[in-house]
Amino acid sequence: MWRTPRSTLLVIGGLALAAAAPFIVTNGYLFHLLVMSAIWGILATSLNLVLGYTGLLSLAHGAFFGMGAYTSALLVEKWDWNFWATVPPAMAIAGLAGAVLGVLTLRLEGHYFAISTLSFGIVVSLVLEKWDDLTEGARGITSIPAPDAIPLFGLGQIRFDSDIAKYYLAVAVLAICLLFVWRLVHSPMGRALEAIRRNELLAACLGIDLVFYKLMAFSISAAMAGLAGVLYSVYITYLNPADAGFWNGFYAVMYIVIGGMGTFWGPLIGTLFLVTLPEFLRMFQEFRLLILGVLLIITITFLPDGIVGGAKLLWRRGTQFWATQK
C-alpha cells in the first residue's frame, strides 16, 4: 500500500500537514494536545504491534513508557549524560523489561496474560515511588532539561528548547516508528504475527514458533514504548511515578480500539481523535468520561475495526455505489 500512488500521496500530504501544523494551530493548548498526540501516537503504534497484530492484550505498556522516561531523565539529571546518549539505554531497559516479562507471562493465555501485565505495571510504578534515593519518590523528577542541541559544524546548531522544536522531534520519531512498524508487518515476521493472532494452533502447525515471535514483538514494542516515554520526559519536563502507572497503558489500548485494532493507521487516528476530542467536548466537562465510555461501547459493538475499519467500509460501499450509478 506504501507503493501505490494514492497511499504515497496520502503519506506526503500527512507529512506536509504535520510540518505545517505549528503555523496553523496557534492556540497554545491545542498545540500542546498536538504534541501529546504525537507522543501518545508512538505509544499506541508500539502497542498496536502487540495488541493489534499479534493479538496480545498488554496492560504493561504504561510501565515500559515510564521506564524509558525515567531512565533518560535520571541519566540526564543525576549523571549528566547527553540527552541523545540516553535514548539507547532507555529503549534497551524498556525492551529488556519487556523480554523478561514476556518470558514469564507469554505462555499464559488471554486474560491471565493481561492480568499479569497489569500487575507488572503496578509494581513498576510502586518501585518508582518507593525507591526514593534514585527516583525522588512521589516528588518526582522536576525541570528535566530540553534535549541537547545538535551542532551542525559551522552552520550553527539545532536547538530543542522551544515547544515547536520538540513537536518536530516527536513527529520525526513518530514517522520513523511508523515506517519501522510498516516494514515489520509487511515482512515474513509480520505474516507470522498475524497468523498467530488469527489462529495459534494453525500457525504452530505451519512451523511458526509462537513463543519466539510473541517475545520478539513484545520486546520490540516495549522498547518503542520506552522511546515514547523519553520524548514525554523532555516535553513535559516533569515525571512522577504515576506516569509509569497503568493509566497510560489503558489509554493506549483505548486509542487503538477506537482507531482500529490491527490496522496500520488506526492507533494514530484513534490517538488524534481521543486526545483532541475532550477539547471539543469542553462544554460537557462533567460528562467527558461518560461520553468516552459510550463511544468505546459503540465502537466495540458496531465498528470492531474502529474508525479506520469504518472508513474502509464506507469507501468500499461508496465506490460500489458509484460503480452501479455509471
Partner 1 sequence: MSFAGPLVELQAVTKVFGGLTAVRDVTLSVHRGEIVSVIGPNGSGKSTLFNLINGILASTSGEIRVFGRTTRGLGAHQVARLGVGRTFQTTQVFADKTVVDNAMVGRHLRVKTGLWAAQVRGNRFRNEEEQHRARCLQTLEVVGLREHAGRLAGQLPTALQQRVAIAMALAGEPELLLLDEPTGGLMEQEVMELMGLLRRIRALGITIMLIEHKMRLVRQVSDRIAVLNNGTMICEGVPDKVLNDQLVVEAYLGTAGAAAAYGD
List contacts with partner 1 (CB under 8 A): 180, 183-184, 186-192, 194-195, 198-199, 201-210, 216, 220
Whole-number minimum distance, CB 208 to partner 1, in Å? 6
| 127 burial type by CB count under 10 A (0-12 exposed, 13-18 middle, 19+ buried) | middle
Q: Which is nearer to partner 1, 187 or 320 (CB)?
A: 187
Asked if residue 196 lies in contact with residue 213, where contact means CB atoms within 8 angstroms, the answer is yes
Q: Which is nearer to partner 1, 195 or 230 (CB)?
A: 195
Q: Which is nearer to partner 1, 2 or 247 (CB)?
A: 2
| 1 burial type by CB count under 10 A (0-12 exposed, 13-18 middle, 19+ buried) | exposed
Q: Quick one: three-class SS letters along 57-73?
A: CCCCHHHHHHHHHHHHH
Distance CA 277, CA 54 (A): 28
Whole-number minimum distance, CB 203 to partner 1, in Å? 7
- Spell out the residues 6+ positions from residue 217 whose beta carbon is closer than 8 angstroms to its own: 49, 50, 53, 54, 56, 193
DSSP-based three-state secondary structure for 261 = coil
Q: Which is nearer to partner 1, 152 or 201 (CB)?
A: 201
Q: Which is nearer to partner 1, 28 or 188 (CB)?
A: 188
Q: Which is nearer to partner 1, 150 or 211 (CB)?
A: 211
Q: Which is nearer to partner 1, 50 or 76 (CB)?
A: 50
List phi, psi (to 5°) of 209. Answer: -80, 100
Q: Give the HSE-up count for residue 325: Cα atoms under 13 Å, Cβ half-sphere.
A: 6
Whole-number minimum distance, CB 305 to partner 1, in Å? 10
Whole-number minimum distance, CB 200 to partner 1, in Å? 10
Whole-number minimum distance, CB 72 to partner 1, in Å? 23
Distance CA 229, CA 72 (A): 9
Residues 147, 150, 153, CA angle at the centre, nearest 5°? 165
Asked if residue 306 lies in contact with residue 263, where contact means CB atoms within 8 angstroms, the answer is yes
Q: Which is nearer to partner 1, 205 or 283 (CB)?
A: 205
- Could you give the C-alpha distances from 11 to 2, 17, 34, 66, 171, in angstroms and in order? 8, 10, 18, 30, 13
Whole-number minimum distance, CB 211 to partner 1, in Å? 8
Whole-number minimum distance, CB 181 to partner 1, in Å? 10
Whole-number minimum distance, CB 156 to partner 1, in Å? 32
Whole-number minimum distance, CB 91 to partner 1, in Å? 15
Q: Which is nearer to partner 1, 30 or 211 (CB)?
A: 211
Distance CA 218, CA 244 (A): 17
List phi, psi (to 5°) of 261. Answer: -65, 130
